[in-house]
Amino acid sequence: MLDIGSNTGHLLVVDAHGGAAPLPAYSYKQRLRLGEHLDDDGAVSDEGRDALVGFVADALEVAETKGCEEMLAFATSAVRDATNCDEVLGAVRDRTDVTVEVLDGEDEAGLTFLAVRRWFGWSSGRLAVFDIGGGSLEVAAGADESPDVAWSLPLGVGRITRRWFSEDQPRTESDLREVRRKLRAEIARDAGSVLRGGTPDHAVATSKTFRTLARICGAAPSAEGPLVRRTLAASDLANWLPKIAAMRWEEIAELPGVSASRSHQVLAGALVAEAVLDIFGLDGLEVCPWALREGVILERLDQMSVRQR
């Protein structure tokens, strides 16, 4: 499976078959930062396009050496929002023979929801699921395997960082006030579609950003495995946010669970998470180890199962 995100290109080789959990067998990543390779017209630059083509070619070679039987390739916010999306993916197809599917925001939210539902099961009742990516925030809610609410907002950590936090300097409360106001206004505009369904029985977060914030706030490290319960409490995030705002990027990179390449995006992620918790009236979120990639795999396995009947 090939995931082209706003920050990273990720090939995940998975041992998967119907009726079993998909098991990661090998991972190959490359920092692409396509969201930062957009020109003033919103087009992916030649440099960004060439980096993407090179990564897909390398990933294809890795997949072949690992004995992959099928390649599922998809792209999210940075590519779908690019004004030259078709041209960029055409270059990928022409040079590698790999067709990359562009997921729209609603599909991205729905597939992530599917993965969360399968991970936690029916006993979780009505789910509310939040995912912060590099280019967008996805929100989904429902009581079934398919959400009755699924939407996407342009509030990813890369996008927010480029707009408001491109300089490496500490931020004061007054610096953050306008950012908070705009984030809350954007999220609150559609929040009623989730809240009208009733209070969720289980509020869940997915994505690297939420995992990082949970780790900063005291959650278990990834080395302890995916079955350890991890949460992000609103009170812990409220404690940490002013500390993060007062730090420079190199100081943030020293915090638990933070990689140097993403340290500049942690403040943006913390502000989006804070807004989500506040607007939806949540005391905390449980972090799910499965997200969009697992949702794509699970949907594919479901399709194969139907054909075999």
Tell me the per-residue pLDDT of 254-272, one tens digit each, with 9 for 90 and over: 999 999 999 999 999 999 9
Q: Are 132 and 157 in contact (CB under 8 A)?
A: yes
* Order of strands across the sheet that contains 8-15: 23-31, 8-15, 2-4, 73-75, 101-102
Signed CA dihedral, 236, 242, 243, 247: sign only:
positive
pLDDT at 16: 81
SS3 (DSSP) at 38: strand
pTM over 0.85: yes
| Helix, strand, coil share of the chain (percent; to 5) | 50, 20, 30
Please check the confidence at residue 5 and state whether its pLDDT lies above 80: yes
SS3 (DSSP) at 293: helix
Determine phi and psi for 136, rounding to 5 degrees: -150, 160
Paired tokens of 131: 């995912």
Tell me the per-residue pLDDT of 222-260, one tens digit each, with 9 for 90 and over: 999 999 999 999 999 999 999 999 999 999 999 999 999
Paired tokens of 11: 């090939």
Q: Would you place residue 44 in the very low, low, confident or very high pLDDT band (cuts 50, 70, 90)?
A: very high
Q: Would you place residue 151 in the very low, low, confident or very high pLDDT band (cuts 50, 70, 90)?
A: very high
Please check the confidence at residue 217 and state whether its pLDDT lies above 70: yes
Domain ranges of the chain: 2-102, 121-293
Same fold, 2-102 and 121-293: yes
pLDDT at 158: 92
Mean pLDDT, residues 141-154 taken together: 96
pLDDT at 309: 58
Distance of CA 171 to the CA centre of its chain: 25
- CATH topology classification for 2-102: Nucleotidyltransferase; domain 5 (3.30.420)
pLDDT at 33: 86
Tell me the per-residue pLDDT of 123-138, one tens digit each, with 9 for 90 and over: 999 999 999 999 999 9
Mean pLDDT, residues 27-46 taken together: 89
Q: How many whole angstroms separate alpha carbon 93 and alpha carbon 88?
A: 9
Please check the confidence at residue 75 and state whether its pLDDT lies above 90: yes
Q: How many whole angstroms separate alpha carbon 178 and alpha carbon 301?
A: 45
Please check the confidence at residue 308 and state whether its pLDDT lies above 80: no
Give every CB contact of residue 308 below 8 A, 6+ residues apart in sequence.
18
Strands 23-31 and 2-4: unpaired
Please check the confidence at residue 207 and state whether its pLDDT lies above 80: yes
Domain 121-293, classified CATH 3.30.420.150, yes or no: yes
pLDDT at 40: 82
Tell me the per-residue pLDDT of 161-202, one tens digit each, with 9 for 90 and over: 999 999 999 999 999 999 999 999 999 999 999 999 888 999
Q: Are 46 and 28 in contact (CB under 8 A)?
A: no
Cβ burial 125-134 (10 Å sphere, 16+ → b, else e): ebbbbbbbbb
